[in-house]
Structures are given as C-alpha cells and as structure tokens.
C-alpha cells in the first residue's frame, strides 16, 4: 500500500509538519501493469464499495476502424511504442496511449486496462494485406 497524502518535505527542501495523521482513504495501490498473454484479471474493491476489474494480462483488443466505424476483436501481437514509459515496450506492457501491432494493423489503446478491465483501441494504420 502507498500513502498518497502530503509529502513530508516542501519544494524548497524544508520539513512540512503535518496537522494530522494519515487517513485510510489516502492509501493507494502498487501499479500492476497489463501485459500481453492469456487473460488474467483481478476484481478489486474500491472506495464506496464499488469494484474495478484490473487486467494483469490480455491477448485480444477491441479495435475500431475510424473510417468505417466497424469494431473487431483482434489479437495483439506486440507493443510498438508506449509514451508512458519507453521501457514498457520491451516488457510488452499495455497502457492507455500505447501503440500495438494487431492482426489488422497498428492501433492506439484508448482504454485504461488497469482501471477498465478491457482493451479498446483505434486503428491508426491498416495492414496492406488485411
């Protein structure tokens, strides 16, 4: 668990004397990034009693072609680019904004796999023979 409250030091380096203790609702969780593989999901209880589906691994994405408006479930082959972190590419980590290679071409991920429990994407470049 990570505390996401006020930092112990100011920007200048001076100490911040907190007026109160840590609160339960200020706790956060460690990141569990989604990777390419057979589907693995975790159900996580969040504040208010609701649930989030956190993807740990996924093999398929729902890819929409913006020209035709058609959506297909296609296999993710590889992560080509990830603006969140360049090291995510070699580890095949999928986050929102990542560009992946699919059966029908390159696609940009529009959903948040760790929050939504699904991978949605928009086609940005069609494969020539697809």
Taking only the tens place, the pLDDT of each residue in 37-86 is 999 999 999 889 999 999 999 999 999 999 999 999 999 999 999 999 99
Pull the structure tokens for residue 46: 């969040």
Q: Going by CATH, does the domain composed of 32-126 fall within 3.40.50.150?
A: no
Domain regions of the chain by residue span: 32-126
Residue 6 pLDDT level (bands cut at 50, 70, 90): confident
Cβ neighbors of 30 (< 8 A, separation 6 or more) are 1, 2
> Per DSSP, what are the bridge partners of residue 7?
none
Q: Which two tokens stand for residue 85?
A: 């972190």
């Amino acid at each position: 668990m990570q505390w996401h409250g006020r930092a112990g030091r100011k920007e200048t380096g001076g100490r911040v004397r907190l007026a109160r203790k840590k609160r339960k609702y200020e706790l956060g969780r460690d990141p569990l990034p989604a990777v390419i593989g057979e589907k693995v999901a975790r159900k996580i209880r969040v504040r208010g009693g609701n649930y989030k589906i956190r993807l740990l691994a996924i093999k398929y994405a729902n890819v929409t072609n913006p020209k035709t408006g058609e959506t297909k479930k296609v296999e993710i082959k590889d992560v080509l680019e990830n603006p969140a972190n360049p090291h995510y590419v070699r580890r095949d980590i999928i986050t929102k904004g990542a560009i992946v290679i699919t059966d029908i071409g390159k696609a940009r991920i529009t959903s948040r796999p760790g929050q939504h429990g699904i991978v949605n994407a928009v086609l940005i470049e069609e494969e020539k023979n697809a």
